[in-house]
């Protein structure tokens, strides 16, 4: 069960961040309102928030999930694959260290973004992508295995629609995963109950299970209906401005 989350609001430079989308520039005021609604949803799920100040020096710094992989006993500081984002780890590390008895770091030449890591109970799916290289994945796999977790590697470099693994999969609890159709047959998901995200609603695959609730992006009615039919307690949130910057629900917090 999660009890806390670290969040950081978008800064005034948010629209200058990295993106591959063609959805236009985000409206910072609207992004701030959407972020505050997200924070209220986390609190509704029972989480106490550590609210960090906006960081003008790093336009992508609201996407705090990319800076660390958290387990109950160990916080693993990442090494983001985009050079412009690597300073974000140092900017948040002191806060992360305060909450964990032990820390480790991904070392050069490894690169790793937290958005490529999907925790599913005692198992971790590790994405190999344009941001997370094989060495970074190997280092993380070793650290997680040492903590008693099992791991699977999922290479998404041929899936051009995905920036991060969690752009295409999410843990729904138990042995159930939401997965976009293009990844559904991957060997890493054999033995799991795969719920295929409806075609055209792939963005909604980035959803977050928290303490019996499931945060999803609003505007994807077929996926929302599918989840409700499975008996899941869905809470839909507007994410339009973060989508413009390749961001999703999971990206906006570090939950522990």
Asked if residue 116 lies in contact with residue 79, where contact means CB atoms within 8 angstroms, the answer is no
pLDDT at 115: 98
Check residue 248 and give its pLDDT.
98
The DSSP annotation for 163-186 comes to SSGGGTEEEEETTEEEEEGGGTT-
The CA distance from 189 to 46, in Å, is 30
The span from the CA of 249 to the CA of 208, in Å, is 7
Which pLDDT value is given to residue 210? 98
| Share of residues in the chain with pLDDT > 90 (%) | 99
Q: Which positions are annotated as active-site residues?
A: 164, 251
At 141, is the pLDDT very low, low, confident or very high (cuts 50, 70, 90)? very high
- Number of Cβ within 10 Å of residue 106's Cβ equals 26
- pLDDT band of residue 37 (cuts 50, 70, 90) is very high
- pLDDT of the residue at 43: 98
pLDDT (tens digit per residue) in 169-178: 999 999 999 9
Kind and range of the H or E element at 6? Answer: strand 4-7
Distance CA 60, CA 253 (A): 13
- Taking the C-alpha atoms of residue 114 and residue 68, their distance in angstroms, rounded to an integer, is 6
pLDDT tens column, 98-132:
999 999 999 999 999 999 999 999 999 999 999 99
Q: What is the pLDDT of residues 191-236, one digit of tens each?
A: 999 999 999 999 999 999 999 999 999 999 999 999 999 999 999 9
Q: Is 150 in a helix, a strand, or coil?
A: strand
Fold of the 4-255 domain: 3.75.10
State the average pLDDT over residues 25-49. Answer: 98
- Does the pTM surpass 0.85? The reply is yes
């Amino acid at each position: 069960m999660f009890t806390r989350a670290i969040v950081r609001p978008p800064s005034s430079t948010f629209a200058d961040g990295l993106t591959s989308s063609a959805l236009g520039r985000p409206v910072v005021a609207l992004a701030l309102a959407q972020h505050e609604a997200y924070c209220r949803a986390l609190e509704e799920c029972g989480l106490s928030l550590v609210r960090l100040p906006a960081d003008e020096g790093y336009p992508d710094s609201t996407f705090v999930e990319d800076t660390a992989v958290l387990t109950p006993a160990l916080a693993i500081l990442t090494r983001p694959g985009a050079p412009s984002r690597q300073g974000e780890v140092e900017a948040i590390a002191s806060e992360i260290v305060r909450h964990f008895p032990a820390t480790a770091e991904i070392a050069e030449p490894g690169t790793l973004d937290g958005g490529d890591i999907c925790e599913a109970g005692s198992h971790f799916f590790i994405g190999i992508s344009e941001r997370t290289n094989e060495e970074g994945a190997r280092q993380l796999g070793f650290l997680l295995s040492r903590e008693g977790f099992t791991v699977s590697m999922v290479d998404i470099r041929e899936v051009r629609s995905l920036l991060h693994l969690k752009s295409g999969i999410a843990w729904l609890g138990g042995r159930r995963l939401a997965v976009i159709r293009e990844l559904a047959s991957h060997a890493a998901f054999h033995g799991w109950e795969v719920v295929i995200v409806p075609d055209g609603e792939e963005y909604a695959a980035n959803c977050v299970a928290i303490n019996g609730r499931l945060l999803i992006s609003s505007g994807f009615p077929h996926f929302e209906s599918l989840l409700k039919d499975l008996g899941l307690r869905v809470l839909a949130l507007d994410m339009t401005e973060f989508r413009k910057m390749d961001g999703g629900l999971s990206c906006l917090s570090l939950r522990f």
